[in-house]
Amino acid sequence: MPIFGTTILSFISGWTAEGGLFAIEKTAEYGFDMLEIILPASLDFDAKKTKKLLDENHISGRCTLNLPKNCHITLYPEQATSLIKLALDKVAEMEGDFLGGVLHSSIGTFTGNPCTKEERIIIQQVFSEVADYANKNNITIAPEPINRYESYVFTTADEVLNMIEGIGKSNIGLHLDTFHMNIEEQNFYDPIIRAGNRLKHVHITESDRGMTGEGNVHWDYFFKALAAINYQGPLVLENFSSEIKALVGPTSLWRPSKYNSEDLAKGSLAFMREMVSKWYTIQI
């Protein structure tokens, strides 16, 4: 069965030592198996202490990284390469085997044009180098395609998979997010089937970032596809409550949320468990 996780954004707006402890404790209390830790761009993160806290609370942890503006790959390939390598060092210190997130571009950075052939060459060169670096510690890296309003580089599963096939490195995978899929993909089934075992990490998010099952994401097609490829990786909740005030601006929560963060997390976890039970049983 897949692993049920949530991100730190269910509890805090960004990683700090104090906030991280709170997020770890709440993740365990609410019944999740795993916490996704979004690394700060500063990489001010005590990986060894965090691993100890995760172990003490009997949950696992995975790291993701979203590139800052000064590391937008096509403009600053050297800086991006350096930051991703430093993030991989943090993953290794935490005894992890995965780094996902928006590793291909800085969210909100645009040129006004589609990604060019020359830009794609630069991106491939960076990912080839960081994949080799990650492989030294048996770490898989998995870029997350996001929607057209946040990036012009990778917006669909196909674009990431094409890069993976072009590079030919076995430790590059795909990180999918249902919020972005709902905008960019033609359906929720085919991208997962095409990805197969290259799908390494999944964000579970409703169309309005609210309670899963109450929006217009086609969850049955989505979970049917996951069961068809026998996906056993993390299903990571990434929805937001305006109760966490620091998230309102960054996540465009201009209307008050229907649910507080606790009810949102617990209700969405129950929905994920229900869908996995339904579709994985059918496949068996």
Tell me, what DSSP letter sits at residue 131?
H
Candidate list 144, 159, 185, 206, residue with the active-site label? 144
Give me 82's structure tokens. Answer: 């350096």
Q: How many CB atoms lie within 10 A of CB 43?
A: 14
Active site residue 144: yes
Say if CB 105 and CB 73 are below 8 A apart. yes
Rg (CA), the chain: 18
> What's the half-sphere exposure (Cβ side, CA atoms, 13 Å) at 126?
26
Candidate list 119, 159, 185, 238, residue with the active-site label? 238
Angle at 71 between CA 120 and CA 254, to 5 degrees: 100
Say if CB 237 and CB 8 are below 8 A apart. no
Active site residue 95: no
Q: List residues with catalytic annotation.
A: 144, 238
